[in-house]
Amino acid sequence: MTGKGQGFGFGLGKMKELAEAFKKAQQVQEGAKRLQEELEQMEIQGESGGGLVKVIVSGNQEPKRVEISQNALNEGPDVLSDLVTAAMKDAYNKSTATMRERMEDLTSGLELPGF
C-alpha cells in the first residue's frame, strides 16, 4: 500500500463522513415513510377511449374505483373489457412513474462516502 490514508483504517475524517452518511440515510428513511403515506393518499387516474373508462388507483397502485360511462357500456362486453384493461394499464404506468419520480427526489443528493 502506498500513501497515507489508504486501506481499511478509519481516520477522524472518515468517521465524520460516515456519521454524515448515516444521518443522510436516516433522513431518507424518514422521507420514505412520509412518501409511503403520501402515495397511499394519492389518486392517480388512468383512462381509455377518450375518457369512456377511468380507473383510479393510489400512488401504490392500489385500485380505488372504476368509472364507466354509458357510452362505454353501449360498446358491448368485448370492447368494454379492452377499455377497462387499457385504463388500468394507463393508471399503473402513471402511478409507477410518479413513484419513481418521488423516490428520485428523495434520494437525490445522497452520496455515501467511501462506498
Cβ neighbours for 12, distance < 8 A, ≥ 6 positions apart: none
Task: For the beta carbon of residue 59, count every other beta carbon within 10 angstroms.
Answer: 21
CATH classification of the domain holding 34: 3.30.1310.10
Judged against a pLDDT cut of 80, whether residue 112 lies above it is answered with no
| pLDDT mean across residues, the chain | 85
Report yes or no: 71 and 4 within 8 Å, Cβ to Cβ.
no
What is the band of 6 on the pLDDT scale with cuts at 50, 70, 90?
A: low
- Expressed as residue numbers, the domain containing 58 is 18-107
Judged against a pLDDT cut of 50, whether residue 68 lies above it is answered with yes
- Domains in the chain: how many in total? 1
Q: Is residue 6 part of a domain?
A: no
**Model confidence pLDDT, tens digit, residues 27-45:** 888 888 998 899 999 999 9
**Strand intervals (E) in 1-105:** 44-48, 53-57, 63-68
Q: Is residue 33 part of a domain?
A: yes
Q: Is residue 12 part of a domain?
A: no
